[in-house]
Copies of this chain bind each other. A is one copy, B any other.
Amino acid sequence: MNSAPHPLTLHEDRLFAAEPTQRAIARRLYAQVSGLPIISPHGHTDPSWFAGNAPFANATELLLVPDHYVFRMLYSQGIPLDALGIPRRDGSRADVDPREAWRVFASHFHLFRGTPSSMWLNHVFHDVFGLRVRLDASTADQYFDHINAALQTPDFRPRALFERFNIELIATTESPLDPLEHHAAIRESGWGGRVITAYRPDAVVDPEHEQFPDALRQFGELTGEDVYNWDGYLRAHRQRRAFFAAAGATSTDHGHPTAATANLSPAEARRLFDTVVRGEATAAQAELFRAQVLTEMAAMSLDDGLVMQLHPGCFRNHNLGLFEHFGRDKGADIPLRTEYVHALKPLLDRFGNEPGFQLILFTLDESTYSRELAPLAGHYPSLLLGPAWWFHDAPEGMWRFREQTLASGGFYNTVGFNDDTRAFLSIPARHDVARRIDCAVLAKLVSEHRMEEDEAAELAVELAYRLPKKAYRL
């Protein structure tokens, strides 16, 4: 291409309605929240970044390889994962020059037009790296060199970025088997950044997880409990939850195929567990076991105060061939229809009215927003709604979340934003999108005289800052 590169701009009014009255209100609301510290109560950044504070490797390793939003879209348009240098299941990688991989990405960046990835990435390019031309084939090398050079400077080390991003707190997510040594190192380092963990026990809860037998064995070794015995298994959970809480955790997180919960008698639960540990559980028994463990986790939450998160409804690793060659988490996770009303009843029958219990619900099935989730959260004191999740973490998805939960759930049964990301550099961009959309939603309500602007201003701060701290007990 011979033409001059296109300028890259971040418009100060982006994501606000074009209509001047709404835009003016949105601007005023946003001015109250744009500078608030970031609360990131649920996500997947790597705590070793903040413990070790080593520089990030290069643009490709930092921005392309770990971001399944990005490489899934490239893959959908025929680009092999090997061309991007994505690690294979066996740990090997195609012999691809990171610069070449970056060029492939750059020359296909138009595929992301209109998607949240393009917004997040352009925000990172513009605000974190100070780039002022648009990414395309003609600017690929300029980008690659510029970003790599920046990453070698002290200002782009993880802790410096954490501070520059004005992050008040970030939660990572770990398995019960994790020794949490990075979190300990961070605490002991004297650095002021608050990086906490969250208890995500799926590997020792899901009999259908390929790592379950190994994970269960390690769970026993780590805790010294007889985890092949139902009571010992529960004690092991209590022990690790206490360890996580001592390391700052205020929440647990559960990624199940469905939202099913169960309320078995102890004798039934014991029999079911015996079947599970013998490796003889049918699919239905595996489902019932996960369901029962959710209810047990709720019981433990009542004791230790950890807030519970449920992220159900994803068919993981749907692409058989890709899974065989590249393994888990390669952008082939597909949402499923999800039911909550019957599924949650066993758990809610026991704990739904308990003052100390808090369960934050997420969904990938937007048809449940107005039909199930908002009516549930607008009634049960124990239930709150997590924000638009994953495939729906986008301006349109956030609008749908608000417009479909507002009538029955209101604003105060929601918990503000989760970035839920391992893409550390995009965290300010993601929170900024969420704050802008909430301000845009509120501005529409004010402009249509459904609330006064002082009420909207108060809500904008609640949604951006206070509600997440309250919901996650931070």
Say yes or no: A319 contacts B118, CB within 8 Å: no
In the bound complex, residues from chain B placing their C-beta under 8 Å from that of A173 are: none
Say yes or no: B392 contacts A396, CB within 8 Å: no
Q: CB < 8 Å: which of B6, B78, B412, B448 contacts A16?
A: B448
In the bound complex, residues from chain B placing their C-beta under 8 Å from that of A375 are: 333-335, 391
Known contacts A18-B22, A396-B406; is A370 also within 8 Å of B341 by CB? no
Say yes or no: A72 contacts B407, CB within 8 Å: no
Interface membership of A374, Cβ < 8 A = yes
Interface membership of A447, Cβ < 8 A = yes
Interface membership of A376, Cβ < 8 A = yes
Contact segment of A46-54, A228-236, A245-253, A349-357: A349-357
Q: CB < 8 Å: which of B112, B113, B334, B367 contacts A379?
A: B334
Say yes or no: B407 contacts A450, CB within 8 Å: no
Within 8 A of B (CB), among A275-323: 315, 318-322
Say yes or no: B395 contacts A450, CB within 8 Å: yes
Say yes or no: B318 contacts A14, CB within 8 Å: no
Q: CB < 8 Å: which of B15, B364, B377, B447 contacts A76?
A: B377
Interface membership of A115, Cβ < 8 A = yes
Known contacts A341-B334, A449-B14; is A410 also within 8 Å of B370 by CB? no
Classify chain A: how many residues form its interface, as a range.
35 or more
What 0/1 pattern do residues 446 to 465 of A give for CB contact below 8 A with B? 01111110110011000000
Interface membership of A197, Cβ < 8 A = no
In the bound complex, residues from chain B placing their C-beta under 8 Å from that of A331 are: 379
Within 8 A of B (CB), among A379-431: 379-381, 383, 391-397, 403-404, 406-413
In the bound complex, residues from chain B placing their C-beta under 8 Å from that of A16 are: 448
Q: CB < 8 Å: which of B114, B345, B383 contacts A411?
A: B114
- Which residue of B has the minimal Cβ distance to A458? B110
Say yes or no: A372 contacts B455, CB within 8 Å: no
- Shortest CB-to-CB span from A108 to chain B, Å, is 9
Interface membership of A65, Cβ < 8 A = no
In whole angstroms, what is the CA distance A3 to B336 when docked? 51
In the bound complex, residues from chain B placing their C-beta under 8 Å from that of A18 are: 19, 21-22, 444, 447-448
Residues of A within 8 A of B (CB): 6, 10-11, 13-19, 21-22, 72-73, 75-78, 110-116, 118-119, 134, 315, 318-322, 331-337, 339, 341-342, 345, 348-349, 352-353, 355, 364-367, 370-372, 374-381, 383, 391-397, 403-404, 406-413, 444-445, 447-452, 454-455, 458-459
Please, could you name 15 A-B residue pairs with CB atoms under 8 Å apart, sorted by A?
Answer: A18-B19, A18-B21, A76-B379, A110-B455, A114-B410, A114-B445, A319-B348, A319-B379, A336-B371, A337-B367, A337-B371, A366-B367, A371-B391, A394-B407, A395-B448
